[in-house]
Structures are given as C-alpha cells and as structure tokens.
C-alpha cells in the first residue's frame, strides 16, 4: 500500500494556531484592563436597596474614605484639610464631572460628615455617595 504524498486533495484538519493567538491576546488585554476598572481606593461599600445611577457628567471624581478614616482622591492619600483644595484643582481640570464619595461601611457617621463638610467647601453641586445595590432576596 502506498500513500500519495503530493496529492492536492482537501485538507480536513483544523488549524488552531490563529485561535490560540487571539485567545492569548484577549487574555493579556483583560489582565491589563481589569485592575484599571477599579478606580479610587478599594473600600467595602454600604449596602442599599434603592441606588440611583449617575446620568450626567462623565466619569466621576472619586473621593474614597477608608476604614481607618484616611481620605483619598482617586488613589492618592490626602490629609482631610487639603481635600477641598485638591478637589477644586481636580474639578478645574475636569469641569462638569460629578464628585462621588466612596465611604467604607465600617466608618462612623462623624468621619463621613467631616469629609462631606470638607467637600462642601468647594461649592460644587452634585456630590453623590456610592453604595452597593442589594439584589432581590439579598439580606442587609
């Protein structure tokens, strides 16, 4: 029995090399992009049933208040006294963008009130508080 090595018939095997290349490129893209999606300092948000979404402006200017009371503008730690000036500079750079405050659920009311009072010194309208929306059947 002899095999015809030079035949020009139809080749029925699948070339998976391009598929593997595309999957690896997508994997690398997602590995790079995913950490960038989390903006601001990571905090455990309080839970709420009724949460409204921001509809105007662009990406919000994030102010995060960690469990230990430290204040961050995006991911940069700031003393609370410098927050108003830093926010005014950021708002001048991004006019019309809303300000969102992400406070840890373990914070006491006094700390959040002090941060909100500092933010109110900027006289910017439309400061929002971030919360984790409870899904149907999820407990507080």
pLDDT at residue number 94: 81
CA distances in angstroms from 125 to 1, 121, 122, listed in the order given: 86, 11, 9
Domains, in order of start, for the chain: 47-133 (3.30.420.270)
Mean per-residue pLDDT of the chain? 81
CB atoms within 10 A of CB 131: 17
Nearest to 65 by CA among 87, 40, 36, 90: 40
What is the distance of C-alpha 99 from the center of its chain?
14
**Both tokens of residue 110?**
């006094």
DSSP 125: S
pLDDT at residue number 96: 80
10-51 pLDDT per residue, tens: 777 788 888 899 999 999 988 888 766 667 777 777 777 777
């Amino acid at each position: 029995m002899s095999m015809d090595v030079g035949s020009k018939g139809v080749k029925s095997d699948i070339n998976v090399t391009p598929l593997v290349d595309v999957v690896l490129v997508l994997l690398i893209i997602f590995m790079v992009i995913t950490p960038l999606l989390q903006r601001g300092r990571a905090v455990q948000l309080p839970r709420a049933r009724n949460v409204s979404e921001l509809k105007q402006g662009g990406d919000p200017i994030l102010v995060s208040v960690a469990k230990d009371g430290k204040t961050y503008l995006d991911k940069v730690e700031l003393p609370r006294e410098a927050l108003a000036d830093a926010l005014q500079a950021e708002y001048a750079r991004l006019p019309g963008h809303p300000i969102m405050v992400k406070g840890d659920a373990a914070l006491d009311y006094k700390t959040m009130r002090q941060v909100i009072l500092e933010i109110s010194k900027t006289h910017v309208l439309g400061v929002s508080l971030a919360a984790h929306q409870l899904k149907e059947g999820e407990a507080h």
